[in-house]
């Protein structure tokens, strides 16, 4: 278990807020506009923002030819599969709690890491995974009846979370020797093209002028999610161990539930408040320094050797 630096902590807090409140915002958008089209427009807004960021920071755009295949694999698991499957599922699920299904990702990350990637987790990391799982179940407590009527949407969301968890492991282990923003830019561009094709094929007959709230949702997603949050997440995914980076964002579905309650007047129950405590335990289990690290001040902070 690695310690978290101040820079990573600041990015994590900002990412949690930006992603957490996006779930009800995104629900407003897909209720008015076809989901693939909604996502594609948002992504195309984020592409020039990231491009300008790379230019200002003087980060090269070039990807060596020998790394394009690996970049394609990273794109499929980290963005394309997750974005496509989530966009199909979200319209059929309640707002904040759609996030909970998506953020079962840390549980998949721990299981897949142990089964396929040779990860050996400390006992307190498994405790964090267990706390996150129980917290997710509590947040879904009042949704089981509704979810039973949307099994396809539930399966799609869980499949997207599983793909995302694999992508998190791949990002941690990638041999692509480029800046994280460069990798993010090309993954976003490739996914934008793919989702645009899906929108043309499946949603063209449903296109119309989005409403003002839908435009607000599109712009928020374009600027804040794809202009900022995706790059921030991939930085954490490359600089922290997969389970640490994934469990560290487990407060996002909690924020999604509470912002959905405020925005869409959903009723909160004791299970929601208990889940907050459990998510805090999950985050602390992977981010607070261990006793060994506290006794050894020479421990290298997470990501110190990662190009970011």
Domain count, the chain: 1
Residue 302 pLDDT: 37
The verdict on residue 300 lying in a domain is: no
The number of beta carbons lying within 10 Å of the beta carbon of residue 112 is 17
Of 20-29, 107-116, 212-221, give the range with the top mean pLDDT.
212-221
Q: Is the pLDDT score of 292 beyond 50?
A: no
Of 24-28, 176-180, 204-208, 243-247, give the range with the top mean pLDDT.
204-208
Tokens read off for 124? 């307190």
Q: Give dist(CA 88, CA 146) in Å, integer.
A: 17
The verdict on residue 304 lying in a domain is: no
Q: Is the pTM of this model over 0.85?
A: no
Domain of 163 in residue numbering reads as 6-295
**Helical spans, DSSP H, in the chain:** 6-20, 22-32, 35-56, 68-75, 81-89, 95-102, 105-116, 123-139, 144-148, 151-173, 180-203, 212-220, 230-239, 242-247, 251-264, 270-287, 291-295
The verdict on residue 301 lying in a domain is: no
DSSP state of 117: S
- How large is the average pLDDT for residues 33-58? 96
104-158 per-position pLDDT tens digit: 787 788 788 878 887 776 777 777 778 777 877 776 666 666 655 567 887 888 8
The verdict on residue 57 lying in a domain is: yes
pLDDT confidence tier of residue 304, bands split at 50, 70 and 90: very low
Residue 267 pLDDT: 65
The verdict on residue 54 lying in a domain is: yes
The verdict on residue 276 lying in a domain is: yes
Judging by beta carbons within 10 Å of its beta carbon (0-12, 13-18, 19+), is residue 100 exposed, middle or buried? buried
Q: Give dist(CA 161, CA 81) in Å, integer.
A: 9
The verdict on residue 248 lying in a domain is: yes
59-106 per-position pLDDT tens digit: 999 999 999 999 999 999 999 999 999 999 888 877 666 777 787 787
Beta carbons within 8 Å of 224's beta carbon, 6+ residues apart: 18, 22
- How large is the average pLDDT for residues 35-47? 97
The verdict on residue 303 lying in a domain is: no
Residue 157 pLDDT: 86
């Amino acid at each position: 278990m690695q310690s978290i630096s101040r820079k990573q902590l600041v990015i994590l807090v900002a990412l949690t807020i930006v992603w957490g409140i996006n779930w009800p915002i995104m629900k407003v958008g897909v209720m008015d506009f076809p989901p693939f089209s909604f996502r594609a427009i948002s992504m195309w807004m984020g592409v020039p923002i990231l491009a300008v960021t790379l230019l200002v920071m003087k980060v090269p755009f070039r990807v060596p030819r020998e790394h394009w295949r690996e970049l394609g694999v990273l794109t499929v698991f980290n963005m394309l599969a997750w974005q496509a499957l989530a966009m199909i599922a979200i319209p059929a699920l309640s707002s904040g709690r759609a996030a909970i299904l998506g953020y079962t990702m840390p549980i998949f990350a721990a299981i897949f890491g142990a089964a396929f990637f040779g990860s050996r987790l400390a006992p307190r990391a498994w405790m964090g995974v267990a706390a996150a799982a129980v917290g997710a179940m509590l947040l879904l407590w009042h949704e089981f009846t509704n979810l039973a009527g949307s099994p396809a949407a539930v399966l799609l969301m869980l499949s997207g979370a599983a793909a995302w968890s694999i992508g998190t492991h791949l990002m941690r282990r990638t041999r692509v020797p480029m800046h994280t923003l460069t990798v993010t830019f090309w993954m976003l561009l490739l996914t934008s093209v793919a989702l645009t094709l899906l929108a043309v094929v499946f949603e063209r007959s449903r296109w119309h002028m989005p409403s003002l709230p839908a435009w607000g949702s599109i712009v928020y997603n374009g600027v804040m999610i794809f202009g900022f949050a995706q790059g921030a997440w991939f930085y954490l995914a490359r600089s922290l161990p997969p389970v640490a980076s994934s469990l560290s964002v487990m407060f996002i579905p909690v924020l999604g539930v509470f912002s959905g309650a405020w925005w869409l007047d959903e009723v909160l129950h004791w299970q929601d408040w208990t889940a907050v405590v459990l998510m805090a335990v999950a985050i602390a289990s992977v981010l607070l320094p261990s006793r060994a690290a506290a006794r050894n001040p020479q421990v290298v902070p997470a990501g110190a050797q990662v190009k970011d």
